[in-house]
Amino acid sequence: MPTPMKYIDEFRDPQLARKMLEEIGRKATRHWTIMEICGGQTHSIIRNGIDQLLPDTITLVHGPGCPVCVTPLESLERALALAGREEVIFTSFGDMLRVPGNARDLFMVRSAGGDVRIVFSPLDALQIARDNPAKEVVFFAVGFETTAPANAMAVYQAAREGIENFSVLVSQVMVPPAMRVILSSPGNTVQGFLAAGHVCAVMGYAEYEPVALEFGVPIVVTGFEPVDLLAGILKTVELLEEGKAEVANCYGRVVSREGNLFAQEIVKKVFEVNDRQWRGIGLIPRSGLGLREEFARFDAETKFHVTNIIAEESPLCMSGTVLQGLMKPDGCPAFAKECTPQHPLGATMVSSEGACAAYYKYHHHIL
């Protein structure tokens, strides 16, 4: 066995995972429905088959925490329009490239001659802008609270250095408003939440306390490795069994109650809260972030006048229902029929984190 990866392999220990599973089985005296908000957690659950191993008393539903999935069609169509422009180098995280717009994705724009580049960090996009002063570099700034500090720093730094050929197409969303939408839905079945560990690394978990109180649900901050996930599920079950609607932290090595204050400060300097469209779900008031007035010149949508581009989603796609945990992916009539990873109707079938893609990939043949 090679040297273990520190802070990863300890939390992938199959023995420990098995014990956790047994303990969950022992603690759960009745059926509970728990939602993992975060797409990264969905990915890990499905990839490791944790949902297959859980006792029948526990149902996991997959939440809307995948930025690739919830980025609205409108933003995507604007991205496609920008990426096709002669003067633009369009930069994006890798998995936005396959997300379908109405008729095209970013790969197709690239094959038609658009300069579309994958970056690992928003600062890489900024470097491309420094290196190409004659070009306009647009970065597709998608993400939840975890990615907001990175996206904010790129804009902040562009302003500080006066890099005026850089701009961002912002589709920045936040978890707590989405949780409220899910919990307020008349069809809601979710009784407890695993809160997204890396979102909480930035934001802390104090903001979940009022949600837990208001809706009477336990919320447990959880990491991403199998043992972390099972520890989070176990804690949620314990709280549910005890009837406690409180917030607990099972990801102490990465998450503190207050979060990362340095990151929050830059995010607040650059962005302000606004209303946001979520793909499949619709408009959620005060659920997103947009550039503040001082940074408005870095807004690609106004800079290139693409705000007039609007788009409508496929009526066949039920991704919104899936994202809110009201339906399992294979409950959708289009699942694995009109909608496959090769021909996705909605983004949940595209992103490797998307609940539908994860289901398609790991599940539907066996179950």
Partner 1 sequence: MCLAIPGRLLERAVENGLNMGTIDVNGSKTRACLEYVPDIKVGQYTIVHAGFALKIIDEEEAAESLKLWQELIESGAFDSDEELPSPESL
Partner 2 sequence: MTIVPLCPLPIMQHETVQMAHGAGGQLSQSLMQRVFMPNLHNNFLDLLDDQAKLDLPPGRTAFTTDTYVVSPLFFPGGNIGELAVNGTVNDLAVGGARPLYLSAGFVLEEGLPLVELETIVKSMAEAARRAGVMIVTGDTKVVGKGQCDRIFINTSGIGCLREGVNLSCRNLKPGDAIILSGTVGDHGMAIMTSREGLSFQSQITSDCAALNSMIGAILDEEPLEIHAMRDPTRGGVAATLNELAQSSSVGIEINEATIPVKPDVRGACELLGIDPLHVANEGKVVVVVAQDKAGEVLDVLRSFDPGRDAVIIGSVVGDHPGMVVMRTLYGSRRIIDLPIGEQLPRIC
Site residues (CB under 8 A) for partner 1?
Answer: 5-8, 10-11, 14-16, 18-20, 22-23, 26, 38-40, 52-53, 65-67, 93, 120-124, 130, 143-144, 146-147, 149-151, 153, 157, 160-161, 196, 198-199, 201-202, 224, 227, 231, 250, 252-255, 260, 262-263, 266, 353, 366
Contact yes or no for 126/154 (Cβ under 8 A): yes
Structure tokens at 112: 């038609």
**Using CB distances below 5 to 8 A depending on partner kind, what does residue 204 bind out of partner 2, partner 1, none?**
none
C-alpha–C-alpha distance, residues 84 and 307, integer Å: 16
Residue 55 makes contact with partner 2 by CB under 8 A: no
User: CB 2 → partner 1: shortest distance, Å?
Assistant: 9
The DSSP H or E segment spanning 243 is: none
Considering only residues 66, 153, 200, 327, which one is a binding residue for partner 2 as defined by CB under 8 A? 66
Give me the amino acid identity at 236.
T
Tokens 């759960």 correspond to: 28
In the sheet that holds 166-173, the strands lie side by side as 115-118, 88-92, 136-143, 166-173, 282-291, 271-278
Site string for partner 2, 170-209 (x = CB under 8 A): ----------------------------------------
Q: Give 289's strand partners.
A: 172, 273
Considering only residues 12, 85, 297, 303, which one is a binding residue for partner 2 as defined by CB under 8 A? 12
**Using CB distances below 5 to 8 A depending on partner kind, what does residue 7 bind out of partner 1, partner 2, none?**
partner 1
Residue 53 makes contact with partner 2 by CB under 8 A: yes
**Using CB distances below 5 to 8 A depending on partner kind, what does residue 22 bind out of partner 1, partner 2, none?**
partner 1
C-alpha–C-alpha distance, residues 252 and 205, integer Å: 11
Give me the amino acid identity at 240.
L
Helix (H/G/I), strand (E/B), else coil: 279? coil
Report which of 334, 340, 337, 331 is spatially closest to residue 361, judged by C-alpha positions. Answer: 340
Judged by beta carbon, residue 140 or residue 208, the one nearer partner 2 is 140
**Using CB distances below 5 to 8 A depending on partner kind, what does residue 201 bind out of partner 2, partner 1, none?**
partner 1
Q: What is the DSSP string of 1-52?
A: -PPPPTTTGGGG-HHHHHHHHHHHHHH--S-EEEEEEEHHHHHHHHHTTHHH
User: CB 135 → partner 1: shortest distance, Å?
Assistant: 18
Residue 352 makes contact with partner 2 by CB under 8 A: yes
Residues 217-236 touching partner 2, rule: CB under 8 A, are 226
Judged by beta carbon, residue 171 or residue 277, the one nearer partner 2 is 171
User: CB 315 → partner 1: shortest distance, Å?
Assistant: 27
C-alpha–C-alpha distance, residues 134 and 89, integer Å: 10
**Using CB distances below 5 to 8 A depending on partner kind, what does residue 333 bind out of partner 1, partner 2, none?**
none
Nearest 5°: phi and psi at 144?
-95, -165
Residue 67 makes contact with partner 2 by CB under 8 A: yes
Report which of 277, 312, 289 is spatially closest to residue 64, judged by C-alpha positions. Answer: 277
The DSSP H or E segment spanning 122 is: helix 122-131
Helix (H/G/I), strand (E/B), else coil: 335? strand
User: CB 283 → partner 1: shortest distance, Å?
Assistant: 20
Write out the residues near partner 2 by the rule CB under 8 A. 2-3, 5, 8, 12, 14, 17-18, 39-40, 46-50, 52-53, 66-68, 93-95, 97-98, 107, 117-121, 124, 128, 142-144, 146-147, 226, 341-342, 351-353, 361-363, 365-366
